[in-house]
């Protein structure tokens, strides 16, 4: 007896590949999706690709930040050439370049996500793992 494995099919744009060769993507609604390194390697996935992914809810301890994890890719869609060129620059480099050249002294993670068109998770992970950035609470007189 073979039981079917229930997945949710979604269109996902690959955003980031980690040093461990796993990946993160985002749906057209802005929801984060995790791809393990085996799937990334087998499907030869790269930043900027748009795929049809078959996903399941992520593990409980990870679900609040990354709701989905992809278990199968059934299709890799054609990506416009200008999107591919744009994605040759990694997200960490884009974040660093933006912060280095910005006239604004400080940004919140959600403001950076809007400005860069990037996932808040990728931005927050980069900022917290990088010694070039300092985080501090802010207070205002009311």
Question: Tell me: the pLDDT tens digits for 11-48?
Answer: 999 988 888 899 999 998 889 999 999 999 999 998 88
Q: Can you give the pTM of this predicted structure?
A: 0.59
d(CA 133, CA 21): 25
pLDDT in tens, 67-126: 999 999 998 886 555 444 445 567 788 888 888 888 888 888 888 888 887 777 888 888
Give the distance from CA 43 to its chain's centroid. Answer: 17
Q: How far is the CA of 85 from the CAs of 11, 79, 90, in angstroms?
A: 21, 10, 11
Q: Are 45 and 14 in contact (CB under 8 A)?
A: yes
Q: Are 23 and 35 in contact (CB under 8 A)?
A: yes
In terms of phi and psi (left: phi > 0; alpha: psi -120 to 50; beta: otherwise), the region of 17 is: beta
């Amino acid at each position: 007896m073979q039981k079917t494995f229930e997945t949710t099919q979604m269109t996902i744009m690959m955003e980031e590949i980690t040093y461990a060769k796993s990946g993160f993507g985002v749906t057209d609604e802005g929801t984060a999706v995790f791809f393990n390194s085996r799937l990334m390697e087998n499907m030869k996935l790269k930043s900027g690709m748009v795929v049809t992914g078959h996903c399941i809810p992520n593990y409980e301890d990870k679900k609040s930040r990354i709701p989905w994890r992809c278990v199968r890719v059934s299709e890799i869609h054609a990506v416009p050439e200008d999107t591919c060129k744009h994605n040759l620059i990694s997200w960490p480099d884009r974040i660093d370049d933006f912060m280095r050249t910005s006239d604004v002294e400080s940004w919140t993670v959600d403001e950076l996500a809007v400005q860069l068109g990037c996932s808040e998770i990728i931005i927050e992970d980069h900022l917290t793992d990088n010694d070039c950035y300092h985080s501090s609470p802010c207070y205002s007189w009311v």
